Structure 1
Amino acid sequence: MSNIIEFTAPPLPHFIMSGLAALPPGGKHPSRKNIGAFDLLVVRKGTLFVGEEGKDYVISEGHALILRPDCHHYAYEGCPDESAHYWLHFQLLGDWKVINEYPVAGQRLIDHESKGFLSPDPFEVTPYSVFLPQFTKLVQPQKMFDTLHELDSLNQSTHMSSARLKQQALFQEIIMLLSASLEAKNNSPQSACAEKAAIYLKAHYREPFSASRLGEAINFHPVYIARCMHNVFGCSPSAYLLRFRIDQAKLLLLQTDWPVERIAEEVGFNQAAYFTSSFTRIEGLAPRKYRQRFSWNRG
């Protein structure tokens, strides 16, 4: 399996420049060393033969390769036929690293046990990891080609801030397309089951929990669902639902003046006392105390 580039956002990756290169038969991608920026190659036609630090890649139509900024890359063979490829330079301004294996879903998530699904401070920016395949067959190659073409069409207007901003937005779409190719390749049946269960629980969080109703809704046995959610999210369906309800309650505590009893009912708790004890156990303070942290009383 190809290496995976993992980076932490924010900050988001930053687009530098791009273009479309055509090569005749025998043409080669230039050899360079430590250029200081990532180089994305997306082949639209033909084949490129590019190596990096002793590892050789055959990049055919609909495939993409990311060359690292800290390595030596080179062409080890000329194109057999006419070829055309998009190139794009970008920079990661935050932390990044190269890993050999795509983490399981549970390892890609923030530690919900200690922080909940939301940050303790609802206005704090919570970092997250993004994973990009260094070499991949694109899941949506035509959409990638169209996005790169639109991005390149703005190169003549980069003296305008609006064009630069549009290029950055298009580049984020390219990052998402690359990430989607990696996820599609590594999405296991257990992950798919757990994701379906999570979507159902979030849509029906106000309703009483029923393992059998959940199983019927997503067409999996409740025991299998519980196993999948534990492997992916590190908790049972009921625990996942409880944490989601608490996070919805946190939003209502900040956005409304409703009494705690009404909020408990709104997020699916039958008893306000159970809501308060659950909230206190997970957040470390009672609902009223949580609200007071963000209240301003006019004196």
Structure 2
Amino acid sequence: MHQLFLPKSFTQKFNENNPCFIYISQVNIEDRNHPRTLHAHSDIVELLLVTEGKGEIFIDEREYLVEKGDLVVYNSDVVHEEFFKNEAVSSYCIGLKGVQEKGLRPGALISDQEMPIFKTRENFNIIKNIFETCFLVLEQRQLNYATIVQQFFVTLVLLLKSNILQNKNNMKKKDNKLAIVQDIKLYMDENFTQEFKVKNLESNPRWNINSFYFAHKFKELYGYSPIEYLQRRRIGEAQTQLITTKSSVTEIAHKVGFNSSAYFSTLFKKIVSLSPREYRDRYVK
């Protein structure tokens, strides 16, 4: 993954119609062995365009199959993960701030109840060209590049709102009756840096659920055991901090919930196939 940011010195007046471009990343086929694990952004909406191949992604409560031409919308605060390890997939991803759509919560480009996968169909080449142009202009950093990127981005948002996000053929997410399991997952997402023990659920008056049943249903719903989910959630947050901060590996390990930086580094390499330092060196330019 190659990620490029607009400079913080670049100012943009947010308004309801024109959110601000923050960064763009490019994922190539060779990046598939270094997955971007479970993570969420508190104030950023992401638009992911699949440009080649197909693979699976995890968004909030379920897995989806995506393929070339699909546009994925990650609302803010929505946990997601791309796992293209066994597939040849290329994509672009744009991060934006200042999203405020009428009738939706701040940080939501679409309803949280709506399917987040959209088919670009005949608009694919146009949309792909805009993503590619934003990436190249930001990479080359010529005169007025930040303003140029923002203008291309405004065009992209208008195109998506007019021709893609209006597609109401998308099915609504199915209601899940396992409300307790979902509530515990929400708690885990909000407190993933804290200690969590499945065996304590049975004595917790908030849930009072059999720990074996919970672990079984959790994996059935989300594809990971509760402990695996927490580990990937922490590693995903660590990836974000490695890219966006100058904190040391030890500091990041403690921030995301690991008592041992050595164990953190071992688990990080097991999941991402790079050590934390190798990951930072590879993706921070």
TM-score normalised per structure 1: 0.43
TM-score normalised per structure 2: 0.45
- Structure possessing the higher radius of gyration over alpha carbons: 1
Normalized per residue, which structure has more strand? Answer: 1
